Chains A and B, each alone.
Chain A
Amino acid sequence: MFGSIDPALLVAALMVNSVPVMLAATGELVVEKSGVLNLGVEGMMIMGAICGFVTAVVTGNPYLGFLGGALGAAALSAVFGVLTQVLQTNQVATGLALTLFGLGLSSLIGQSYVGIRPPATGDLPLGPLADIPFLGVAVFGHDWMVYASILLVAAVWWVLKYSRVGLILRAVGESHEAAHALGYKVTRIRMLAVLFGGAMAGLGGAYVSLVRVPQWTDGITAGAGWIALAIVVFASWKPWRVLAGAYLFGGISVLQLNLQAAGSAIPVEYLSMAPYLITILVLVIMSSGRGKAALAAPACLGQNFHASR
C-alpha cells in the first residue's frame, strides 16, 4: 500500500511541516488560557512571515530573522491587545479584523521583497545522533527551529502547570472577577499573554517564509493560522495535545501527498478531511460530558473585563 514511501523521510517531513502550526497554536493556547480569544492568528502569522523575511534579508542572519518575525507579530498583537483590553472592543470582531489588517499590511511591506531568497537556516549539527539508522534521518536531521518548537511546547506546559505565573494566568482565564479581587492586574496579565501569543505566531510565520518556503509571496501562510485555532480546540487547551494535534494535521497532509506521489489508490479526499473529521469528533465527545466544564475551555474565554464593573 505504501509503495515507495520511505517512513523515515515521511516522519522527517511531518516534523518540519508541523512547526508553524504548532508554534502558533501554542501561543494561542496561552492567550486563550488567559481568557482572551484572539482570532487574528493568521494575520499575526503572516506579519511574522514578512517581518522575519525582511529582517533576515536585511541583516543576512536567519536567527535575527526569527527574532524580527516574533517582534513584528507581537507588535501587531499589541494592537489587538490595546483594542480589546483597554478600549473593550469585541474580541471576535477585532480578531477577525486583525487577520485582514495583517494580510494587507504584510502585502504592503513585502512588495519589494518578492523574488528574493533569504539566507539559509542551517541544520542543527547533532553529530553522531544523525548517523543512527532511521532516527538519524527522521528525527535528528532538522534545523534548530524544529527542536526549539518542541522545547517551547514543553516550557509552556511546565509554566502553566507548575509555576506561579501559570497559576495566575489560569486564574485570570477562569474567573477574572476573582483574580481581580485577589489583587492581580487582569488587563496587564492578559496584555502580556496576547503579546506572547503574537510572538509565537510570528515565529511560526517566520518559519514558513524562512525555512519551509524560503521566499516571500503574498498570502504565504495560506490559512495555517486557522488550523492553529482549530488545533487549540482539538487539544482541549492542553500543550502536549497541541503537539499531538499539530503532528496529526501535519502528518496527514504530508502522508496524503506522499501517497499520491507513490501512486496509491486511496482517494486523497478521505485523507484530506480526516483531521477535520477527528476534530469534530473530539468536540462532540467533549461536549457530551457535563456541560461547560467538560469542554475544558477557560470559563472567561472571550469575555471583556473592566475593573469598574
Chain B
Amino acid sequence: MKRRHLLATAALGLGLVFGGAAMAQDKTKACFVYVGPIGDGGWTFQHHEGALAVQEAFGDKVEIAFQENVPEGADAERVLTQMALSGCNIIFTTSFGYMDATNAVAAKFPDIKFEHATGYKREHPNVSTYNARFYEGRAVQGHIAGKMTKSNKIGYIGSFPIPEVIMGINSYYLHAKKVNPEVELSVVWAFTWFDPAKEADSAKALIDQGVDVIASHTDSTAPLAEAAKTNGAVIGFGQASDMAEYKDGPRVSSIIDNWAPYYIKRVGALMDGTYEQADAWEGIAGGEVEIGEITALVPAEVKAEAEAMRDAIAAGTYHPFTGPINKQDGSPWLAEGQVAPDGDLLGMSFYVEGITGEIPK
C-alpha cells in the first residue's frame, strides 16, 4: 500500500514536471554563453548582471539559461547547438572568439535569434552584433594616467591583438600623451581573457620595469591585486566591472560595462514582435559604458577634467579619435579636426604614432 502510494505521488510529480515544461514553451527563453566564470569579477560577471536584469525586468515571462567557461572555437559551436536545441529563442554569445561559431550555428537555426558581442560578422538575417564604445572610457582613463604617473611610464595588459583591444590601447595612449608629452606606454600581451595568475605576472613584469599606472583589457581583478602589493606606488583601473573592492587601494577609477539596458531592450523587442537585426554600438551616451567613481587619490582638478571629458563624450561634443592623428609609422590617419569613422575603428590593426613595440600577428 505504502509503495503504491509512493508510486502515485511520483507519477503525479512527473506529470507536474512535464506539464510545467509544456507551459514553459510560452515563455521567451534567453540564453547566454560566457567565456569565463560568472565569478570573475569583470567581463563575464557584468554580462551575467545583464542577464539577471532581464529576468528581473520580465519576471515570469522569460526564462534565462547560461553556460560559463565555454572555450572559444569548436566547443562553442557544440554548446551553441545544444542551446538552440534546448528551446532558446534568443542566444547572446558574449565574446569575440565566438564569432564564427555563432554565424555557423545561426545558419542551421533560422528561427532563433543570435546576438554576438564585439563581433562584426552578420552572415545571416538572424545574427545581430552589439558592442560598447569602451574606447570612450579608455580616453578618460588615459587622461588620468597621464596626469598621475610619476615615472612617466604607463602600462597596458592586452588580451588578444584584435581591433577592440588595439582601439583601447590607442585611445588610452593618445589621451595620456595629450596631457603628458613625456609619457611612454608599455604593452604586454597576455593572450588570454581570463588567467588571474598570468594577469598578475603581466602586471608584475610592468611594475618591475618602472611602470606606475596599469590598465588592463583582461577580465579579472588580478592586476589590481598585484598593484595593491606595492603599497600605493602603483595605481590601476577597474576593467569591465567597477572592482570597487580595490577602491581604498590602487583602483582610482574604472570602466563599467553595463549590458542590462541592451539585453532588456532586445529581449523585450523579441517578445513584442518589434525585433530587427541590429548592429549596436553604444557608448557613454547610451549608458553602456560607465565611468566608475574617481577616488580621492586623484587630485580634484584632474578628477574634474576627467569628468568634463566624460560629459563631453556623452554630449557628443568630443570624440576621442579626433585628428590630427598619425599611424605608428608616421603616415597620416586623421587630418586636423577629422573624426575617425566607425569602420576604421572596428578594423583597427595599427598603433598610433608614439607607441613603441609591435602588434603580434
Contacts and interface: CB of A to CB of B under 8 A. Distances in A.
Interface of A: 4-6, 9-10, 13, 17, 20, 107, 110-111, 114-117, 208, 212-215, 217-224, 253-254, 257-258, 260-263, 265, 267-269, 272
Q: Give the one of B190, B200, B205 with max A CB within 10 A.
A: B205
B39 A4 contact: no
A220 B197 contact: yes
B95 to A, nearest CB: 15
Given A107-B37, A219-B36, A222-B195, A253 B186 contact: no
Interface in B210-267: 210-211, 220-222, 225-226, 228-229, 245
Contacts of B190: 257
Nearest to A221: B197
A89 B186 CA distance: 51
Contacts of B201: 13, 17, 253-254, 257
Interface footprint category on B: 35 or more
Contacts of B358: 265
Interface string B318-358: 00000000000000000000000000000000000000111
B274 interface: no
Given A110-B39, A217-B220, A262-B186, A257 B197 contact: no
A10 B69 CA distance: 32
Contact of A260 (B37, B38, B187, B245): B187
B204 interface: yes
Contact of B197 (A222, A258, A260, A269): A222
Contacts of A213: 196-197, 199-200, 220, 222, 225-226
9 contacts: A107-B37, A115-B41, A117-B245, A214-B228, A217-B220, A253-B198, A257-B201, A261-B209, A261-B211
Contacts of A115: 41, 221, 245
Contact of A9 (B37, B208, B222): B208
Main secondary structure of the interface of B (DSSP, over half): mixed
Given A107-B39, A215-B221, A220 B245 contact: no
Given A117-B245, A212-B200, A217-B220, A258 B205 contact: yes
B37 A217 contact: yes
Contacts of B36: 218-219
A10 B208 contact: yes
Contacts of A17: 201
A215 B356 contact: no
Contact of A212 (B40, B189, B194, B197): B197
Contacts of A254: 201, 205
A217 B68 CA distance: 13
B194 A222 contact: yes
Contacts of B188: 257, 260-261
A118 B84 CA distance: 42
Nearest to B45: A114
A212 to B, nearest CB: 6
A172 B175 CA distance: 65
B27 to A, nearest CB: 27
A146 to B, nearest CB: 14
A6 B207 CA distance: 11
B41 A258 contact: no
10 residue pairs, one from A and one from B, having the closest CB atoms? A218-B37, A257-B205, A222-B195, A218-B39, A115-B245, A9-B208, A213-B196, A260-B188, A258-B205, A213-B200
A213 B358 CA distance: 28
Contacts of B80: none
A147 to B, nearest CB: 19
Given A6-B208, A213-B222, A215-B222, A222 B37 contact: no
Nearest to B219: A217
B169 to A, nearest CB: 13
Nearest to A222: B195
Contacts of B360: 267-269
A296 to B, nearest CB: 29
Nearest to B221: A215
A258 B208 contact: yes
Given A213-B226, A218-B36, A261-B211, 5 more contacts: A6-B208, A10-B208, A217-B37, A220-B196, A260-B186
A309 B40 CA distance: 49
A215 B194 contact: no
A23 to B, nearest CB: 14
Contacts of B166: none
